[in-house]
C-alpha cells in the first residue's frame, strides 16, 4: 500500500512523443488565439514551452522553436501584450534548469521585463542583481543592462526608501562587487563621436557590456549615471569599493554628474583607506589602461583614463604610501604623465610632484628598481625647458624636478658618486635659472653633496676645480653652496677647501661668512 501511495503521488514524466503531441496542440491553440486573449494564454504556454527544451529530442526542440517563432511574430511589435516575467524568472533560477533553457529564458525575461509597468520594474530590479555573480557572463551583461535602464528611468533624481532597502539586501560580496564594477564602467562610458573609438578608461568589450547593441545617447546616459550614483549611495557600501566610482563621476563631462560625484566623494568616501592595495591597483589600472607588456586580446585592451580623470587620480596617488610602492605601475604612471600620448603641462607638473612623493616614501627595494629610470626621465624633462620659461606650471614642474634630484641623492647616492655631471648641472642651474627657483635648487645642491662622500679620488679632484671656479660666481646661492660642499666633503687638512673657506669669511653675505 505504501508503495502504491508513493507511486501515485510522484509526478508523471511524459515521453518525448507525448511532449511533442502536447506542444503541437499548444501551437494550434496559439494560432487560433485572438490578440486580446494572447497574454493570458502565454502566461502558461511560454514557461511550459521553454522548459521542454531540457529534452534531448530533436523533434521536441524543433516544435518548441516553431512555437517561439510564432510568439515572436505576434508580440514583437505589440508591447501592450505582457509576458509572464515572474514565471520565467522562476524557471531561469531553478536549480535544475539546463543551459539551453536558461539561454532561451533570458531572452524572454528581457522582453517580459520591458513590458512591466514602471512600479513593477522598480521593485524587481534589485531582485535581478541578487546572486548575479553566479550567472554566465553573457547573462550577467543582459541583466545588468536591464537594471541600469530601470535605474536611469526611476532613480535619476531620488530613490524611495522602500526600494533602497531592497538594494541594500543584496548582501553577497561578489554580487555587490560585480554591480559596483558595472556601475564604474557605466560612469566611464561616453557617447561615441562620429569617429567612433572607445571611451577613455574602457575596453571595447567593457563598452559593449555597458551599452549592448545600441550606443547610449547623452540624455539617457546622464539619467543612468545620476541614477547609479543614487542607488550605490543607498546601498551603503564600504568606502573603498565606491571610491573609484565617485572619483570618476567627479571628473565627468556633465555638470550634474560632477556635482553629485564630488558630494558623494566628500560625504561617503572620504574615509577610504588610500593605502588599500586593491584600491590602488584599481586606480592605477584606470590611469594606465592596458600596458604594452600585457598580452590581451584587442577588444579587451583598456584605454588610459581621460586627462581630467588622470588629474584627479594624481591627487590621490600623492597621498598614498602604497601608490609610491606599486612598481611597475608607479613607474608607468610617472612616465605616462611626462611623456604619455596627449599629456599636458598640468600632468607633467603632477607627474613630478608624484615623483617627489615616490622618492620620499618608496621602500629601498622599490626605489632601486625605479630610481635610475625616473632620474633619466627627470633630466630629459628639465632639458626640454629653457631658463626663460616663467609660467606657473613650468616653474612648479622645475621645482618638483630639482626636489626629486635632491631626494634621490640622499636615498641612492651611488647613482651620482662616480661622476660630477649632476654637480655641474646643479651649479649651472643656480646661475641660469630664475631667482624664484634658486632656493629649491640650492637645497637640492646641498643634498647632493652627501652623495660624493667617499667618491673616487679622480672625482674629488674634479670637484675641487668645480668648487674653486664657482666660488667666484656673482650669485650668492652659488657661493654658499661652494662653501657648504667644501666643508662637508673635505677634512681640515685639505688645502683647496680651506682656501675656499678663507675667502668665504670675507664674503659680503652674512649667511656665507657664518
Q: DSSP character for 302?
A: P
In 115-172, which residue ranges form alpha helices assigned H by DSSP?
A: 118-129, 137-154, 161-168
Closest CA to 174 of 182, 166, 165: 182
Residue with cell 606657473: 392
Gap between the Cα atoms of 334 and 329, Å rounded: 9
Distance, in Å, from the CA atom of 441 to the CA atom of 436, rounded to the nearest integer, reads 10
DSSP states of 10-60: SPPPPPHHHHHHHHHHHHHHHHH--HHHHHHHHHHHHHHHHHGGGS--HHH
Query: Among 172, 123, 184, which residue's Cα sits nearest to residue 150?
Result: 123
- Residues in CB range of 405: below 8 A, 6 or more apart: 375, 378, 422, 426, 444, 448
The beta-strand segments (E) located in 252-365 are none
All residues at 6 or more sequence positions from 312 whose CB lies less than 8 Å from its CB, including other chains: 247, 250, 251
Question: Is the peptide bond between 51 and the residue preceding it cis, with omega within 30 degrees of 0?
Answer: no
Q: Strand, helix or coil at 219?
A: helix
Q: What was the pLDDT predicted at 5?
A: 41
Cell digits of residue 169 = 539586501
On whether the CB atoms of residues 242 and 176 are closer than 8 A, the answer is no
Closest C-alpha to 54, from 113, 9, 99:
99
- Cβ neighbours around 275 below 10 Å, total: 14
Cα separation, 478 vs 467, whole angstroms: 9
What pLDDT does residue 10 have?
A: 42
Identify which of 462, 463, 513, 438 has the alpha carbon closest to the alpha carbon of residue 483: 513
Phi, psi angle pair for 436, to nearest 5°: -65, -20
Q: What is the DSSP letter of 216?
A: P
Show pLDDT as tens, one digit a residue, over the chain (514 residues). 344 444 434 444 567 788 888 888 888 888 888 888 898 999 999 999 999 998 888 898 999 999 999 998 988 888 889 999 999 999 999 988 899 999 999 999 999 999 999 999 999 999 999 989 999 999 999 999 999 999 999 999 999 999 999 999 998 889 999 999 999 999 999 987 544 578 999 999 999 999 988 889 999 999 999 999 999 999 999 999 999 999 999 999 999 999 999 999 999 999 999 999 999 999 999 999 998 777 888 899 999 999 999 999 999 999 999 999 999 999 999 999 999 888 999 999 999 999 999 999 999 999 999 999 999 999 999 998 887 766 889 999 999 999 999 999 999 999 999 999 999 999 999 999 988 999 999 999 999 999 999 889 999 999 989 988 888 888 888 888 888 888 888 776 777 777 777 776 767 676 666 5
Residue with cell 607633467: 348
Kindly tell me the burial class for residue 173, based on how many C-beta atoms sit within 10 Å of its own C-beta (0-12, 13-18, 19 or more): exposed
**CA contacts within 13 A on the Cβ side of 28:** 6
User: What does the chain come to in residues?
Assistant: 514
**Residue 389: per-residue pLDDT:** 66
Class of residue 328 by CB neighbours under 10 A (exposed 0-12, middle 13-18, buried 19+): middle
Q: Are the C-beta atoms of 338 and 348 separated by less than 8 Å? A: yes
- Residue 392 · residue 437 · CB < 8 Å: no
Half-sphere exposure of 301 (CA within 13 A, CB side): 11
Rounded distance, CA 210 to CA 310, Å?
22
The region that residue 191 occupies, defined by phi over 0 for left and psi between -120 and 50 for alpha, beta otherwise, is: beta
Q: How confident is the model at residue 13, as a pLDDT?
A: 57
For residue 418, CA distances in Å to 113, 415, 427 come to 73, 8, 17
| pTM score of the predicted model | 0.88
d(CA 99, CA 337): 47
Amino acid at each position: 500500500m505504501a508503495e502504491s501511495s508513493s507511486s501515485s503521488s510522484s509526478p508523471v514524466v511524459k515521453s518525448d512523443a507525448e511532449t511533442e503531441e502536447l506542444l503541437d496542440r499548444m501551437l494550434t491553440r496559439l494560432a487560433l488565439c485572438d490578440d486580446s486573449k494572447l497574454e493570458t494564454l502565454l502566461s502558461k504556454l511560454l514557461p511550459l514551452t521553454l522548459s521542454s527544451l531540457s529534452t534531448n529530442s530533436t523533434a521536441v526542440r524543433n516544435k518548441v522553436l516553431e512555437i517561439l517563432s510564432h510568439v515572436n511574430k505576434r508580440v514583437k511589435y505589440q508591447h501592450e501584450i505582457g509576458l509572464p516575467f515572474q514565471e520565467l524568472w522562476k524557471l531561469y533560477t531553478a536549480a535544475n534548469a539546463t543551459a539551453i533553457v536558461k539561454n532561451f529564458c533570458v531572452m524572454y525575461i528581457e522582453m517580459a521585463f520591458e513590458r512591466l509597468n514602471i512600479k513593477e520594474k522598480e521593485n524587481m530590479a534589485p531582485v535581478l542583481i541578487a546572486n548575479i555573480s553566479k550567472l554566465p557572463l553573457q547573462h550577467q551583461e543582459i541583466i545588468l543592462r536591464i537594471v541600469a535602464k530601470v535605474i536611469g528611468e526611476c532613480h535619476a533624481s531620488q530613490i524611495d526608501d522602500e526600494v533602497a532597502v531592497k538594494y541594500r539586501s543584496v548582501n553577497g560580496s561578489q554580487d555587490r562587487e560585480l554591480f559596483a564594477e558595472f556601475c564604474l564602467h557605466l560612469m566611464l562610458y561616453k557617447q561615441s563621436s562620429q569617429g567612433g573609438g572607445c571611451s577613455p578608461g574602457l575596453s571595447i568589450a567593457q563598452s559593449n557590456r555597458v551599452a549592448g547593441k545600441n550606443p547610449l545617447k547623452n540624455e539617457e546616459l546622464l539619467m543612468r549615471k545620476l541614477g547609479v550614483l543614487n542607488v550605490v549611495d543607498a546601498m551603503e557600501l564600504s568606502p573603498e569599493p565606491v571610491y573609484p566610482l565617485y572619483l570618476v563621476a567627479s571628473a565627468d563631462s556633465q555638470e550634474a554628474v560632477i556635482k553629485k560625484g564630488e558630494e558623494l566623494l566628500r560625504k561617503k568616501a572620504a574615509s577610504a583607506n588610500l593605502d588599500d592595495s586593491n584600491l590602488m591597483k584599481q586606480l592605477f589600472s584606470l590611469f594606465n589602461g592596458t600596458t604594452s607588456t600585457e598580452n590581451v586580446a584587442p577588444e579587451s585592451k583598456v584605454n588610459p583614463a581621460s586627462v581630467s580623470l588622470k588629474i584627479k587620480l594624481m591627487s590621490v596617488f600623492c597621498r598614498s604610501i602604497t601608490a609610491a610602492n606599486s612598481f611597475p605601475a608607479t613607474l608607468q604612471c610617472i612616465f605616462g604623465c611626462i611623456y604619455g600620448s596627449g599629456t599636458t603641462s598640468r600632468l607633467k607638473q603632477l607627474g613630478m610632484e608624484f615623483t617627489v612623493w615616490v622618492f620620499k616614501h618608496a621602500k629601498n627595494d622599490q626605489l632601486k628598481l625605479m630610481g635610475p629610470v625616473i632620474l633619466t626621465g627627470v633630466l630629459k624633462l628639465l632639458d626640454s625647458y629653457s631658463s626663460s620659461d616663467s609660467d606657473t606650471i613650468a616653474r612648479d614642474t622645475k621645482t618638483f624636478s630639482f626636489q626629486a634630484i635632491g631626494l634621490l641623492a640622499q636615498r641612492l647616492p651611488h647613482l651620482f658618486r662616480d661622476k660630477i655631471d649632476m654637480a655641474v648641472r646643479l651649479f649651472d642651474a643656480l646661475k641660469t635659472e630664475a631667482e624664484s627657483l634658486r632656493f629649491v635648487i640650492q637645497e637640492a645642491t646641498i643634498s647632493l653633496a652627501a652623495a660624493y662622500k667617499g667618491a673616487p679620488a679622480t672625482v674629488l679632484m674634479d670637484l675641487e676645480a668645480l668648487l674653486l671656479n664657482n666660488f667666484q660666481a656673482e650669485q650668492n646661492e652659488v657661493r654658499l653652496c661652494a662653501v657648504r660642499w667644501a666643508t662637508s666633503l673635505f677634512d681640515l687638512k685639505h688645502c683647496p677647501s680651506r682656501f675656499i673657506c678663507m675667502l668665504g669669511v670675507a664674503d659680503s653675505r652674512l649667511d656665507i661668512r657664518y
